[in-house]
Structure 1
Amino acid sequence: MQEEFLRQQNELCDKIEPVDKFDMDSVKLIAGVDLAYWNKDDEEYAVCCIVVIDSDTHEVVEKQHYSGKIEVPYMPGFLAFRELPLILKTVELLEASPDIYIFDGNGYLHPRHMGIATHASFYLNKPTIGIAKTYFRVDRKTDYTEPENAAGSFTDIVIDGEVYGRALRTHKDVKPIFISIGNFVSLDTACALALKLTDKESHIPLPTRLADLETHIARENERNMIL
């Protein structure tokens, strides 16, 4: 299984396009995607929540979720294979058509540049961005440099001479978040969108913050329904 997953990742990696494949003026709807897990009777389950917001007003346009049993065991570096089936099922429920998907997780910031945000892009055929709350040390040794304590300050995460992502501080006196492209978007644009979508209530951009909140609610409801 792992060898096949590795083969797929290496094949898709060559198809990543780290450039803006869209006109920013045409971006209207942005989806935040997150998952939450739980165990019951020695089985692992998860619920995926997607929250679609208006990129200008920040109003919620739609919320959907889908839950199910996780069929793929945990293997470091292959998280997408566990989560993608539930994500795609949730996307099928959407009435809205998001212009961009933002994932609570990583994309290019991955040993093979194939975090969930990147992997999912090939199935969604939409620009994707990864925004993580905690730093993923890709090579187990490279740390990041703290950005200056000012809103909008950032430092690039460079591994072996290549930029994998950015540590971005969305407000003064808050922890940085970690931005990496998924696909069909540049890192500069990904960071600009993250700042645009961050309000005064939190240092986490609104799409994934709302999706995260929804997973807590949906997980409680769903796991109580599974006998």
Structure 2
Amino acid sequence: MTTVRIPAGWPATDDQARAVQDELRGKVVLDETGPPPGTGHVTGVDVAYDDERDVVAAAAVVLDAATLDVIAETTAVGQVSFPYVPGLLAFREIPTVLAALDALPCDPGLVVCDGYGLAHPRRFGLASHLGVLTGLPTIGVAKNPFTFTYDDPDTPRGSASPLLAATGSGTEEVGRALRTRTGVKPVFVSVGHRVTLDNACAHTLALTPDYRIPESTRHADALCRRALREAAG
């Protein structure tokens, strides 16, 4: 387990954090397809909080994309690096998530975040932020649609519908509601960095053979919760 300190110069106010988002958002790459599903590595990242102690634990779990077997896993624990502000949650998590990724003994491949990429009020959620900082292809697979709207996808697994944001001239597709299990509530997929939306959805389906949530996220969620318990002694 890696112990993490808040980096020097890390944003301390809402305005500083939004300025960082504005600066980095223009570096998101949207014209790369990304790695083919079922090839190489796929890494899930997730965090858990101890609000009483102001501690956050992050986990990174690398899977073989073809078999979904666990190849490597790491954890990191640190102080929460930013207060809770909707739309700025990445600033609470990124230092610890980066430390977990940096500790991996192998190439992460595609990184799957339990959250959002372009499906974000400022079009720069955790998956996009993490992708720009690391250069890795990233996607966001969230459990709820945040502030966006969608029509319920058809019942069969693999059905999808646009996740829509209101704009001054109508609506904009920022992701997709994707049915990963027949008749079960969809997940919400968005591009982070260096992956197309079609490919992000294909990866999500490849990662959900048995459950609604990607195997990468399921493993990372269990691991970060365990790391948080161990850090508490």
**Is 2:107 the counterpart of 1:97?**
yes
Change (3 A) 1:3 1:154: same
* Aligned residue in 1 for 2:177: 167
* Aligned residue in 1 for 2:139: 129
Q: What number of residue pairs does the alignment pair up? A: 217
Rounded Cα–Cα distance in structure 1 between residues aligned with 2:163 and 2:204: 17
**Is 2:71 the counterpart of 1:65?**
no
Rounded Cα–Cα distance in structure 1 between residues aligned with 2:194 and 2:150: 24
| Alignment TM-score, normalising by the size of structure 2 | 0.88
Displacement of 1:71 in angstroms is: 2.7
* Aligned residue in 1 for 2:125: 115
Change (3 A) 1:110 1:82: same
Change (3 A) 1:208 1:88: same
Change (3 A) 1:168 1:21: closer
**Is 2:194 the counterpart of 1:184?**
yes
Rounded Cα–Cα distance in structure 2 between residues aligned with 1:222 and 1:189: 37
* Aligned residue in 1 for 2:212: 203
Displacement of 1:91 in angstroms is: 1.2
* Aligned residue in 2 for 1:36: 48
Q: Give the gaps of 5 or more residues in structure 1.
A: none
Q: Give the gaps of 5 or more residues in structure 2.
A: 1-12
Q: Any conservation in 2 of the 1:20–1:189 contact (CA below 8 Å)?
A: no
Rounded Cα–Cα distance in structure 2 between residues aligned with 1:214 and 1:26: 23
Rounded Cα–Cα distance in structure 1 between residues aligned with 2:37 and 2:118: 25
Displacement of 1:25 in angstroms is: 7.6
Structure 2 residue identity aligned to 1:46? V
Q: 1:12 aligns with which of 12, 18, 24?
A: 24
Q: 2:96 aligns with which of 50, 72, 86?
A: 86
Rounded Cα–Cα distance in structure 1 between residues aligned with 2:81 and 2:160: 38
* Aligned residue in 1 for 2:229: 220
Extract structure 1 runs of 4+ deviating beyond 4 A.
none
Aligned residues with identical type, % of pairs: 35
Displacement of 1:26 in angstroms is: 9.3
Structure 2 residue identity aligned to 1:32? G
Displacement of 1:23 in angstroms is: 4.5
SS in 2 for 1:24: coil
Displacement of 1:85 in angstroms is: 0.4
* Segment of structure 1 superposing worse, 176-185 or 3-12: 3-12
